Structure 1
Amino acid sequence: MNTVAMEIKVEIIKRETIKPSTPTPHHLRCFDLCLIDQLQPESYTSLVLFYSNSADSPLPYEERISQRLKASLAETLTRFYPLAGKIKDHVSIECNDDGADYFEARVYCRLSDILERPEQKMVRRFLPKEILSRQGTGKLVVVQASIFECGGMALGVCISHRLADASTTSMFIHGWACTALGSGPEAVPPEFGAASRLPPRREFSPTPPATHLVVEKSATRRYVFDASKITALKAKAASASVQKPTRVEAVSALIWRCATTVSGSKYGSLRPSKLIQMINIRKRLVPPSPENCFGNLVWSFEAQTGDCSDIELHSLAGELRKGIEGFTENYATKFQGDEAFSVVSKAYKEIDKLYTTEVIKFFCFSSWCRFPFYEADFGWGKPTWVSMGNMESKNVIVLMDTRDGSGIEAWVCLSEEDMALFERDSELLEFASLNPSVQN
């Protein structure tokens, strides 16, 4: 195991509040959450983007970098004005231009030291401690810019999950980078119509299911599937019903199979397991919502194994395909108005029961693939690596693109007991590399 995470020193040298460059007009001061926003926990969606210093010169440019980030963040908050406000109640945001928290830090090592064998515990060092303690800072956006001795940078971006899913997070980062480059007008502005389609309900104040996820005694590992291995995996996962599985379907099916096998080994026999797959529903709704629709436009479908014969790779890939097609067939037209509330409230009760009883083993998957995080150029090049900022919830798996866009990085969080078996699974290691160097 890499010990760099325990040795590096990250020192906060400055904390500021960045307010929108233009005040929010009075008629926009109250922003309604959408119905799905109400289900989200009061935690942060976080990413860390790592940038190399191509000039490899030690840091006379720190102040210039900081000024560019802060000025462009202020402009970006003007366009994404709800993110500069504060949570008023469980149905709305007070858009009072409270601003974002901005931290600057120095890292007493080189970026290459981090990228050699990156671990989740190390990545979390580039997020403010307040985020990790779940206290938050009171702000809906929190940023930490950490400068390495070599001139490289880690940019940690944290956005309240009450307002942002992966798509909204990607849109915000892309808009911020375009503004920093001076091409802000080219960025697609956010569309704020989610609440009109999915109006919030004051009488609906659920405890978000994610708060039930166990975070104690978990272990997180990074697995990388390169393009050639994914091609072989897709061929193995193919069947008459799913002749061309996607790379996400193939990778998800393999991880699901291996995690189910590991879980069954503790009991002496395989038990049924359930996969909960989070999906971006913007394009899947009828009529579709705009791709730039702001907020949490995500939902989930479930796929379940039965007896031992059901955990063959092609069977699991088939279950995933049936799940996504089932959403389109059964729910695509229902996410609007009163019918949406009926669907959401019923599903919430079922999911809440699953999380709280754990009668059946379940795994929650989320794919962040195809979001253009690696295109986020603030003026010093595109990221060398983009990572999940914080993953501690047991049985959660997040998939992200590799830098070349053809491979997949899987962040897998299991109980320590399950991970000890999972990380030695021979079928998994046939297709995936355990935490290889980013620099390769």
Structure 2
Amino acid sequence: MEVNKNMTTTTLEVYKITNTKQIKGCIKVHAWQRVKIVDGSTLGSFVSHWASVARYGSTDHEQVLPFNPQFLQSPPATTNFLPHPFLDLNLRCVNPVTRKFVFPNTKLSDLKNKVVLPSTNGGSITNPTRVEVLTSLLYKTAVAAATTARSSSSSSKPHFLLIPCNIRKKFVPKLPQTTVGNFIAGFIVMTRHESETSLSALVSAIRKQKMKVETIQSQELARQNLDSMMSRLGNEDLENVAHRFFCCSSLCGLGFNNVNFGWGNPAVASTTYMFSKQSGFILMDTPNGDGIEAWVSLERQDMKIFQNDKELLSFCQN
């Protein structure tokens, strides 16, 4: 099926499967999507259901995996969720490089134990998640690499980290995971000084911003969050004040490694979407579920420093 690349409508975006091939036991699925209507959860639910339909009637699969998509109708948002023009300027990678780093759960447990989180009541925040500590480690290392690779004249400029998260379960009442759409809210963490990029400081900052997302319990509040975030991203001076802008998206727990079209589970599940030359990280479960794969996209000169960071490598798979 061909995709009309000249489509200009902003009222509805489409998702189509464009090509499926089986090559020596390996299935390649090429999907065209736009984040205006499809998020990671929708993509995971759709592909899992599609695989279930493909296997229907086989001896080991006599029933189709339930999908039952839920749809919500709402008036157009005041903000058009499209990349702001500033992303075409200084904050985009000129020579992007993408590499995969694997972090076993045993190493992530060590990383969690290393994080000490002070709280306002003098206690500590217990049990930080794998995604929280890994996001903090990746961002910390990327900021250090970007700072080292650039002139000291830009060292005082802040760095930004954008994190989108699924808000289906935060609605009242909760939305089913099969609710079709782009049900994400985003928050931004800004750091300017090295002390703000310690693991404990970053996890604490991420959790503080996540608490604000917990209050998004309706479509209207989600729209307000989007308007606020895009307004901040659309600041005309951002390209001049930001040293580097990163985005981290977690696809963990969405079942991509369990998608079985009839030839078994995939040996490798990955995404080719890397923020359109935007620096960032995509996190996915390892095929065996024993860790997290981080697909890291950075400026080439930043990657040379990033991939040799001793602290980062100490938590990677040998």
Q: TM-score band, normalised by the shorter chain?
A: 0.7 to 0.9
Q: Return the offset for 1:287.
A: 3.3
Paired amino acid for 1:351: L
2:108 to 230, 237, 247: 230
| Aligned position for 1:154 | 27
How has the CA–CA distance of structure 1 residues 229 and 340 changed in structure 2, closer, same or farther, with 3 Å as cutoff?
Answer: closer
Paired amino acid for 2:293: E
How has the CA–CA distance of structure 1 residues 393 and 191 changed in structure 2, closer, same or farther, with 3 Å as cutoff?
Answer: same
Q: Return the offset for 1:272.
A: 3.2
| Aligned position for 1:221 | 99
Q: Distance in 2 between matches of 1:371 and 1:343?
A: 24
Question: What secondary structure sits across from 1:283 in the alignment?
Answer: helix
1:408 to 274, 288, 292: 292
Conserved? CA contact 2:86–2:234, under 8 Å: no
Q: Return the offset for 1:207.
A: 4.2
Q: List gaps (5 residues or longer) in structure 1.
A: 1-15, 18-41, 44-85, 94-138
RMSD of aligned C-alpha atoms?
Answer: 2.9
How has the CA–CA distance of structure 1 residues 205 and 381 changed in structure 2, closer, same or farther, with 3 Å as cutoff?
Answer: closer
Q: Return the offset for 1:341.
A: 4.4
| Aligned position for 1:315 | 201
How has the CA–CA distance of structure 1 residues 267 and 326 changed in structure 2, closer, same or farther, with 3 Å as cutoff?
Answer: farther
Query: Quick one: higher RCO (CA 8 Å, sep 6+), 1 or 2?
Result: 2
Q: Return the offset for 1:234.
A: 1.0
Structure 1 residue 292 corresponds to structure 2 residue 178: yes
Q: Return the offset for 1:233.
A: 0.9
Structure 1 residue 347 corresponds to structure 2 residue 229: yes
Paired amino acid for 1:426: K
How has the CA–CA distance of structure 1 residues 354 and 303 changed in structure 2, closer, same or farther, with 3 Å as cutoff?
Answer: farther
Conserved? CA contact 1:283–1:290, under 8 Å: yes
Paired amino acid for 1:432: C
Structure 1 residue 374 corresponds to structure 2 residue 257: yes
Question: What secondary structure sits across from 1:92 in the alignment?
Answer: coil
Question: What secondary structure sits across from 2:170 in the alignment?
Answer: coil
Q: Distance in 2 between matches of 1:432 and 1:355?
A: 37
Residues 237-263 of structure 1: CA deviation (Å, up to 9, x unaligned)? 233432211100111110111111112
How has the CA–CA distance of structure 1 residues 224 and 358 changed in structure 2, closer, same or farther, with 3 Å as cutoff?
Answer: farther
How has the CA–CA distance of structure 1 residues 282 and 206 changed in structure 2, closer, same or farther, with 3 Å as cutoff?
Answer: closer
Q: Return the offset for 1:296.
A: 0.6
Residues 319-352 of structure 1: CA deviation (Å, up to 9, x unaligned)? 11111112214xx13x434x65444333322122
Q: Return the offset for 1:385.
A: 1.3
Residues 296-321 of structure 1: CA deviation (Å, up to 9, x unaligned)? 11121112224222221111111111
Q: Return the offset for 1:408.
A: 0.5
Conserved? CA contact 1:156–1:389, under 8 Å: no
Q: What's the TM-score once normalised by structure 1's chain length? A: 0.62
Q: List gaps (5 residues or longer) in structure 2.
A: 57-61, 119-123
Q: Return the offset for 1:288.
A: 2.5
Q: Distance in 1 between matches of 2:84 and 2:253?
A: 26
Question: What secondary structure sits across from 2:302 in the alignment?
Answer: helix
| Aligned position for 1:279 | 165
| Aligned position for 1:110 | none
How has the CA–CA distance of structure 1 residues 388 and 207 changed in structure 2, closer, same or farther, with 3 Å as cutoff?
Answer: closer
How has the CA–CA distance of structure 1 residues 210 and 406 changed in structure 2, closer, same or farther, with 3 Å as cutoff?
Answer: farther
